Each structure stands twice: as structure tokens, then as C-alpha cells.
């Protein structure tokens, strides 16, 4: 038995200001019904003794300790630059300003 009617889809589309054709209303009613049934099946299986998860495998972020260190010398940083001047990267001007 369908739980989402064509009229409900039309009402929701009107609330969202989405213009749907007759065929789209019929198609979406069926598609939304399948989604509702799928959620109901999962809800039947998900009991209080099954913990909620967002991923099937446990994930752990791997971060290094944030320890301040000495910065690289300017000469080492600029050594890989295509162009440098006055201890800074030299880039082409992109605006018509001086």
C-alpha cells in the first residue's frame, strides 16, 4: 500500500515552489514511497542494542602533534620559485593598477 500519495507530492512541491508535471508527480510519488518503505525496514532492524554509526568501519583521524618549529629560511623557500625579488615571490601583475 502506498504511503505517499500524488496529492501529497503536489502539496510539497507547491510549498517548495517546484513546478512539476503530471508525469513527474506520479513518478515522484512512487519513488518517495520506495524511500519511505526502505527507511521503515531499516527502522525495524535498528533496535536499542544496535549502536548508531555513520560508517561501517571505525575511523580515527591521524594528526601529528602541533609543535611550533623554526620557519624555513627565506632563501630556501624562494629557491623553488620561478621568480623572486626583494625576498618575495615575483608574480605577474593582474590588475591595471600601479
Q: Which domain CATH number covers 40?
A: 1.10.20
Domain membership flag for residue 89 = no
Residue 27: other Cβ atoms inside 10 A: 14
Between CA 39 and CA 43, with CA 40 as vertex, the angle to 5 degrees is 85
Domain membership flag for residue 53 = no
Domain membership flag for residue 93 = no
pLDDT of residue 1: 52
Domain membership flag for residue 26 = yes
pLDDT of residue 11: 95
Domain count, the chain: 1
pLDDT of the chain, 98 residues: tens digit per residue: 568 889 999 999 999 999 999 999 999 999 998 999 988 888 887 777 777 777 888 888 888 889 999 999 999 999 989 999 999 999 988 887 66
pLDDT of residue 2: 60
CA 97/CA 76 separation, integer angstroms: 31
State which H helix or E strand residue 85 sits in. Answer: strand 84-85
pLDDT of residue 51: 75
Residues of the domain holding 40: 6-45
Domain membership flag for residue 36 = yes
Amino acid at each position: 500500500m502506498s504511503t505517499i500519495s500524488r496529492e501529497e507530492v503536489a502539496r510539497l512541491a507547491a510549498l517548495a515552489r517546484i513546478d512539476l508535471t503530471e508525469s513527474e508527480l506520479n513518478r515522484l510519488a512512487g519513488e518517495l514511497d520506495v524511500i519511505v518503505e526502505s527507511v521503515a525496514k531499516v527502522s525495524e532492524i535498528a533496535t536499542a542494542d544496535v549502536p548508531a554509526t555513520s560508517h561501517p568501519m571505525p575511523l580515527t583521524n591521524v594528526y601529528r602533534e602541533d609543535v611550533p618549529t623554526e620557519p624555513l629560511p627565506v632563501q630556501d623557500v624562494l629557491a623553488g620559485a620561478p621568480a623572486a625579488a626583494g625576498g618575495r615571490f615575483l608574480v605577474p601583475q593582474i590588475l591595471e593598477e600601479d
